[in-house]
Amino acid sequence: MKKVAVYPGSFDPITYGHLDIIKRGLTIFDEIIVAVARNSQKNALFSTEERVDLILEVMKGEERVTVDTFSGLLIDYVASRRAHVIIRGLRAISDFEYEFQIAQMNSTIGREIETLFMMTSLQYGYLSSSIVKEVCSLNGDIDRFVPPEVKLALKRKYGLT
């Protein structure tokens, strides 16, 4: 049976930190569904469709990755895709408390679904979509944090091109 995992998030926008988790996840799973949460963040910079398009652009050629959106309970979505594993990334200790709470809740209400945590790679330990947006909005260099397509989209959003 194909091993499928769901990697959920807001991806507003996708960064090299996310891409690193996906790449490493593909060494464990046959297929990864990158699931963009709809309306999880009301103050998102990119619309859900824009976020999906950026992921598709960055992931093109990678047949084992699919991109989708979801709303409502994550475990319901995961079950609907016939997957059993949720992948999450862990950076600082600050991620842990929140992630632990969600994972506990998910395993209580969705017993057959497992959450797999992957430690951030050393060079991405401080990287988040929020920090990239902040740096970009202040006209800082974001080459090391996001792929060129994402950089361009960010610059456009902030009227910097």
Catalytic site positions: 18, 42, 91, 129
Could you say whether residue 39 binds ligand ATP (CB under 6 A)? no
Could you say whether residue 145 binds ligand ATP (CB under 6 A)? no
| CB-side neighbour CA atoms (13 Å) of 71 | 5
Name the pairing type of β-strands 4-9 and 114-119. Answer: unpaired
Distance CA 144, CA 23 (A): 17
Q: Site for ligand ATP (CB under 6 A): which residue of 17, 25, 110, 147?
A: 17
Residue 151 is encoded by which pair of tokens? 């950089």
| Single-letter amino acid, residue 55 | I
Q: Site for ligand ATP (CB under 6 A): which residue of 4, 5, 6, 9?
A: 9
Q: Among the candidate windows 15-23, 26-34, 50-58, 75-83, which touches ligand ATP by CB under 6 A?
A: 15-23
Q: Which residues bind ligand ATP (CB under 6 A)?
A: 9-12, 15, 17-18, 21, 88-89, 91, 95, 120, 124, 127-130
